[in-house]
Amino acid sequence: MRVVMIDPGAFTPFYDDALCRGLAAEGCDVELVTAPFAYHPWPAARGYSRREVFAGGAGGAGAGRAGLRLYRRLRRAITYPLAWRRLAAELARRPPEVVHLQWSLLPAVERRALQQLRAAGVRVVQTVHNARPHGGEPKPLPAGGRLRSEADALVLLSEAGRAELVADRPELASRMRLLRVIPPGIGEGDVGDEGGRVNVMVVTRGRQRRGAGAAERDPVFLQDGNGRRHL
């Protein structure tokens, strides 16, 4: 089975890598289509292929400069529709069995591409990473509002996430067979890079720290969906 995984914003590179490796281990022919990740080198693609067709975001070296951040955001906004148009046309010519969309950046753009792929016989899966916005995040559009009828199935990361989604979108209750809960498969030995150093995610934004009741210099532990804590 040929599977094309799409993370257009490179929001979850290590999750993407683990999922692609897992699918490849099950015998799937997997390609990850994504963007440059600004904060850390991508993990080595083992058992699958990866290419970057979308523009990077506002992070990375020099991200603190407002002008550079604005330039990168404008570049992504301008090139995003074209990147999707080219990708959809390419995949329609040689359709995979499954396209799995990890994140939705511009639903109006993605909707047309997914419709084109479904017309070519491609099954579309979408992962719902945040059934509801995290505390302190702006809420311009509920997560449920980004879900498109073009998806043949939705993947959630926890039973709690599925319950929240169905609470916000009651009409999905009659389509529970389309909702699949797949917990993040991050084991104790999976966090780290090839050099053996532990990858640390630093929580620096004041509003997230205040929301968690943490002082500015307090260590913050992050807990994944399996109940494991990481410093």
In the chain, what are the domain boundaries? 2-185, 188-231
Q: Rounded CA gap, 67 and 63, in Å?
A: 9
Q: How many CB atoms neighbour CB 39 within 10 A? A: 13
Question: Could you read off the pLDDT of 32-57 as tens digits, one per residue?
Answer: 999 988 777 888 999 999 999 998 65
CATH class of 2-185: alpha beta
Q: Rounded CA gap, 171 and 163, in Å?
A: 13
Question: Could you read off the pLDDT of 96-117 as tens digits, one per residue?
Answer: 999 999 988 888 889 899 999 9
What do you get for the CA distance between the two ends of the chain, in Å?
37
pLDDT at residue 24, rounded to an integer = 96
Question: Could you read off the pLDDT of 122-177 as tens digits, one per residue?
Answer: 999 999 887 765 554 444 444 445 555 668 888 888 888 888 888 888 877 777 77
Q: Residue 71: is its pLDDT beyond 70? A: no
Closest by Cα among 177, 176, 191, 178 to 226: 191
Question: Could you read off the pLDDT of 16-33 as tens digits, one per residue?
Answer: 999 999 999 999 999 999
Pairing of strands 229-230, 222-223: antiparallel
Structure tokens at 7: 């993370």
